[in-house]
């Protein structure tokens, strides 16, 4: 289950929920079990299970003006943000010593909150960088400058966004072919809008966004005091459009085998001519790296050719604009307001910005997340909570193992490989075993621009320093205060942060049926990612290796294609349907996770007493369906459908139509809209 807040710096995810900037009203009555008041009994479960489970909640819920949407996850997200803010204040009040992690947390947050200092400095922090761009006088210097912008800002397997605003992005991870050592992956980039379709689609909504994007670019130029703003903006949008046309689609990016392309550093000039590659790698500090995995070769060929064919002045404008845009949040208010007017209001439909303290918490989580997380875990995740979560994970792994053993279509040799993956799966609960070291990150109390700049650079240098070193398979990709979960296929590992292991997902006072339907499905989902279309390409050691017999792989691919075709029929808008191939990994994990969670619930032997006539089995499925209750602005929903590997919540809840037990639980009959004949139900794991 992957993805996160689309306005966040972070780049994680195989996450449990979609990329919405969302929130929820704080005044919610505490409920132990399903929220009966959210059920709309005027809707038949067999016609629309999502609205049956969530319809009354949808009717009475209003989206706050500072949110793109609202869902069940965000009660916890808001709670986690408030707790984190309180911890930051406590750390600051303790007067920590200079250079300590606690002092860095306090100084970073306070420097972000000091709006008066930001206004007083104006454009001064950017001036040396803009001057350096202005001084570029040939394509060799351009290549060096482009290399200097390279950052470790993409995560190919765990992120909704497969591009970076920089020309390319670096991901340091276990190698596809050598999973014991950290390897450099290079990813397509160079565009500011969320995805290539925003530049290439002829739909009315995308044309409207493009019509608003160019004036936004011009407005940023004008705020920065540059002349010829409109002409510069036109050239930048034209260049970004050309770059976008070289990109792979999100669905194509999911194919691991197409991504496994090893290029020696010395081969780039021949394989992707145009850019002065040796100068680029010198600028990036990668001149000693012998080889890279190039995820999208055609994008590198296309973007490199554009480096040669597009005018130098256009590239200089592109560099300057991306520099200004990337730092708008720590420049004077006018810059942040203009960026929000486009990316918040126009692109996502959000009416007002989040309070500055919440944005400050996001900055701290992005740059010093473990420093706060270590304190967060100690205060909010006691050992007994960890033990209970570990027990449920063990139960779900056991349930999944039984499902594998019972498969009639799978060859014994393939089963043995699948079971080896389960046996070696590392499951992190609550918080990591080792914490991130921020000693190479200098934070100053009165320099938010410098803090952001040095933070990005220190993380890049940390990642580059790991190249060729042994992999830490127990390393976490998110912080304890993150409301989410992740599967890391190259490490054969799962992370379940502390912040998600609490009500409404896991509630010790709720019936087992509801806990299995809620957090049980989340856990099952993450386990199932080990065997989705992406995870199934990796063996128990995290290597890309085909461990399937030809017959088994053919069966798996046919079942997966059937599920993708089912999702292709879902249409959130008359002119926009779900891309079943794009969401396939998540859809497989939802289906397999729900199946394993149901098995775990039944194996527990615990039957919940009826609540307002709702039986125990019904509570299990409603607990699952209410996981996905959400209300989203149309602009944000369009963005999710086009750029996210997760289907919208409505269609995730309707996954239940493939589970036999759902039919008997709700007496679903032929003729009802979600009804599938037994032979039409998708069964994979």
Q: Whole-angstrom Cα distance, residue 475 to residue 428?
A: 9
CB 500, CB 485: distance < 8 Å:
yes
Tell me phi and psi for residue 520, to 5 degrees. -60, -40
Q: Whole-angstrom Cα distance, residue 483 to residue 506?
A: 12
Q: Whole-angstrom Cα distance, residue 43 to residue 52?
A: 5
Q: What is the pLDDT of residue 155?
A: 83
Say yes or no: 420 and 495 in one domain: yes
Q: Average of pLDDT values for 534-540?
A: 91
Asked whether the CA dihedral 150, 156, 161, 163 is positive or negative, the reply is: positive
Q: CB under 8 Å to 233, separation ≥6 — which residues? A: 214, 215, 217, 218, 221
Nearest by Cα to 305 from 263, 281, 285, 277: 277
Say yes or no: 540 and 576 in one domain: yes
Q: CB under 8 Å to 340, separation ≥6 — which residues? A: 350, 353
Q: What is the pLDDT of residue 14?
A: 40
Q: Average of pLDDT values for 560-585?
A: 96
Q: What is the pLDDT of residue 72?
A: 81
529 has a pLDDT exceeding 90: yes
CATH number at residue 164: 1.10.1380.10
Say yes or no: 324 and 388 in one domain: no
- Place 13 in a pLDDT band, splitting at 50, 70 and 90: very low
639 has a pLDDT exceeding 90: yes
Q: Whole-angstrom Cα distance, residue 557 to residue 564?
A: 10
- Place 16 in a pLDDT band, splitting at 50, 70 and 90: very low
Say yes or no: 57 and 192 in one domain: no
Q: pLDDT digits over 43-70, tens only?
A: 999 999 999 999 999 999 999 999 999 9
Q: Average of pLDDT values for 226-250?
A: 97
Q: Which residues, listed in sequence order, are joined to residue 14 by a DSSP beta bridge? A: none
Q: What HEC string does 609-666 produce?
A: CCECCECHHHHHHHHHHHHCCEEECHHHHHHHHHHCCCCCHHHHHHHHHHCHHHHHHH
Say yes or no: 171 and 239 in one domain: yes
CA distances from 201 to 162, 237, 364, 403, 550 (A): 18, 15, 36, 42, 38
Q: Is 16 a domain residue?
A: no
CB atoms within 10 A of CB 601: 29
Q: pLDDT digits over 438-490, tens only?
A: 999 999 999 999 999 999 999 999 999 999 999 999 999 999 999 999 999 99
- State how many domains the chain has: 2
Q: Whole-angstrom Cα distance, residue 25 to residue 628?
A: 16
Q: Whole-angstrom Cα distance, residue 309 to residue 294?
A: 22
Q: Which stretches of 304-372 are assigned E, i.e. beta strand?
A: none
Q: Average of pLDDT values for 578-599?
A: 95
213 has a pLDDT exceeding 80: yes
Q: What is the pLDDT of residue 505?
A: 87
Q: pLDDT digits over 625-638, tens only?
A: 999 999 999 999 99
Which carries the bigger pLDDT value, residue 54 or residue 21? Answer: 54
Among 70-84, 280-294, 576-590, the range scoring the smallest mean pLDDT is: 70-84
Packed helices 584-604 and 383-406: angle between N→C axes, nearest 10 degrees: 100
Q: Average of pLDDT values for 200-206?
A: 92
Q: Helix or strand or coil: residue 470?
A: strand
Q: Is 675 a domain residue?
A: yes
Say yes or no: 396 and 247 in one domain: no
610 has a pLDDT exceeding 90: yes
Half-sphere exposure of 311 (CA within 13 A, CB side): 7
Q: What is the pLDDT of residue 88?
A: 94
Q: Average of pLDDT values for 306-317?
A: 98
**Residue 125 token pair:** 């922090």
The average confidence (pLDDT) of the chain is 92
Q: CB under 8 Å to 606, separation ≥6 — which residues? A: 511, 512, 513
26 has a pLDDT exceeding 50: no
22 has a pLDDT exceeding 90: no
Q: Return contacts of 221-228, CB within 8 angstroms, 24+ apart.
A: 221/321, 221/324, 223/334, 223/335, 223/338, 224/123, 224/126, 224/130, 224/320, 224/324, 224/335, 225/123, 226/320
Q: What is the pLDDT of residue 3?
A: 31
Q: Is 30 a domain residue?
A: no
Q: Is 551 a domain residue?
A: yes
- Place 152 in a pLDDT band, splitting at 50, 70 and 90: very high
262 has a pLDDT exceeding 50: yes
Q: Is 642 a domain residue?
A: yes
Q: Is 361 a domain residue?
A: no
Q: Whole-angstrom Cα distance, residue 582 to residue 643?
A: 9
Say yes or no: 273 and 387 in one domain: no
CA distances from 49 to 29, 60, 430, 654 (A): 24, 18, 32, 6
Q: CB under 8 Å to 231, separation ≥6 — which residues? A: none
DSSP designation for 228? S
Say yes or no: 249 and 149 in one domain: yes
CATH number at residue 539: 3.40.390.10
User: Which helix (H) or strand (E) covers residue 264, if one does?
Assistant: strand 262-264
Cis peptide before 504 (omega within 30 of 0): yes
Say yes or no: 349 and 393 in one domain: no
Q: Average of pLDDT values for 227-239?
A: 98
Residue 245: domain span = 114-353
Q: Quick one: what percent of the chain has pLDDT higher than 70? A: 95
Q: pLDDT digits over 93-122, tens only?
A: 898 999 999 999 999 999 999 999 999 999
Indicate the pairing of strand 291-294 with strand 426-430. unpaired
551 has a pLDDT exceeding 90: yes
Q: What is the pLDDT of residue 162?
A: 53
**Residue 593 token pair:** 């996770």
Say yes or no: 262 and 393 in one domain: no
- Place 160 in a pLDDT band, splitting at 50, 70 and 90: very low
Q: Is 258 a domain residue?
A: yes
Q: What is the pLDDT of residue 526?
A: 93
Q: CB under 8 Å to 296, separation ≥6 — which residues? A: 187, 188, 247, 248, 253, 259
Say yes or no: 193 and 243 in one domain: yes
Say yes or no: 346 and 385 in one domain: no
Q: Is 96 a domain residue?
A: no
Q: pLDDT digits over 114-124, tens only?
A: 999 999 999 99
């Amino acid at each position: 289950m992957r993805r996160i807040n689309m306005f966040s710096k972070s780049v994680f995810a195989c996450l449990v929920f979609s990329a919405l900037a969302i929130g929820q009203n704080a005044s919610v009555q505490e409920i132990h079990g399903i929220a009966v008041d959210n059920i709309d009994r005027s809707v038949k479960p067999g016609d629309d299970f999502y609205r049956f489970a969530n319809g009354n909640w949808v009717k009475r819920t209003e989206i706050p003006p500072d949110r793109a949407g609202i869902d069940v996850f965000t009660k916890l997200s808001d709670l986690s943000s408030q707790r984190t803010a309180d911890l930051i204040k406590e750390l600051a009040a303790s007067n920590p010593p200079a250079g300590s992690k606690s002092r860095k947390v306090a100084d970073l947050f306070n420097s972000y909150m000091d709006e008066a200092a930001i206004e007083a400095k104006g454009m001064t922090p950017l001036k040396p960088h803009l001057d350096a761009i202005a001084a570029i006088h040939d394509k060799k210097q351009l290549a060096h400058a482009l290399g200097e912008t390279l950052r470790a800002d993409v995560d190919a397997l765990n992120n909704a966004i497969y591009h970076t605003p920089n020309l390319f992005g670096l991901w340091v991870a276990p190698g596809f072919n050598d999973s014991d050592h950290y390897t450099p992956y290079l990813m397509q980039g160079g565009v500011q809008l969320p995805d290539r379709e925003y530049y290439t689609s002829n739909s009315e909504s995308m044309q409207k966004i493009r019509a608003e994007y160019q004036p936004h670019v011009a407005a940023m130029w004008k705020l920065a005091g540059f002349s010829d703003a409109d002409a510069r903006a036109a050239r930048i949008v034209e260049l970004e459009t050309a770059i976008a046309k070289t990109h792979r689609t999100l669905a194509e990016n999911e194919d691991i085998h197409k991504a496994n392309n090893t290029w020696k550093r010395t081969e780039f000039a021949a394989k992707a001519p145009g850019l002065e590659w040796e100068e680029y790698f010198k600028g990036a500090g990668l001149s000693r790296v012998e080889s890279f995995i190039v995820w999208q070769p055609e994008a590198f060929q296309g973007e490199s050719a554009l480096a040669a064919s597009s005018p130098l002045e256009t590239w200089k404008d592109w560099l300057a604009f991306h520099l200004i845009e990337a730092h708008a949040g720590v420049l004077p208010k006018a810059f942040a307001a203009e960026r929000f007017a486009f990316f918040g209001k126009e692109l996502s439909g959000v009416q007002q910005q989040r309070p500055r303290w919440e944005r400050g918490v996001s900055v701290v989580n992005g740059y010093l997340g473990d420093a706060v997380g270590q304190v967060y875990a100690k205060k909010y995740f006691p050992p007994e909570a960890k033990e209970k979560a570990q027990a449920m994970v063990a139960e779900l792994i056991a349930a999944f193992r039984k499902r594998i053993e019972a498969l009639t279509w799978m060859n014994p040799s393939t089963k043995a490989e699948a079971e080896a993956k389960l046996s070696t799966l590392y499951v992190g609960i609550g918080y990591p075993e080792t914490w991130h070291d921020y000693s190479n990150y200098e934070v100053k109390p009165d320099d938010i621009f410098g803090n952001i700049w040095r933070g990005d650079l220190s993380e890049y240098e940390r990642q580059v320093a790991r190249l060729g070193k042994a992999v830490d398979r127990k390393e976490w990709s998110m912080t304890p205060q993150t409301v989410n979960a992740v599967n890391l296929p190259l490490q054969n590992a799962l992370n379940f942060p502390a912040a998600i292991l609490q009500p409404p997902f896991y509630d010790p006072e709720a019936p087992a049926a509801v806990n299995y339907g809620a957090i049980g499905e989340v856990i099952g989902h993450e386990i199932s990612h080990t065997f989705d279309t992406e995870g199934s390409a990796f063996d128990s050691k995290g290597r890309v290796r085909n461990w399937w017999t030809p017959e088994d792989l053919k069966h798996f691919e046919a079942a997966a294609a059937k599920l993708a075709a089912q999702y292709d029929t879902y249409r959130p808008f008359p002119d926009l349907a779900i891309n079943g191939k794009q969401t396939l990994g998540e859809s497989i994990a939802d289906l397999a996770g729900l199946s394993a969670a149901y098995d775990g619930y039944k194996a527990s032997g615990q039957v919940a007493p009826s609540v307002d006539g709702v039986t125990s089995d019904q509570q299990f499925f409603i607990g699952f369906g209410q996981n996905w209750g959400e209300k989203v602005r149309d602009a944000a929903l369009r963005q999710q459908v086009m750029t996210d590997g997760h289907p919208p919540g409505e269609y995730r809840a309707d996954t239940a139509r493939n589970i036999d037990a759902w039919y008997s639980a709700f007496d679903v009959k032929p003729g009802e809209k979600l009804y599938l004949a037994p032979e039409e139900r998708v069964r994979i794991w």
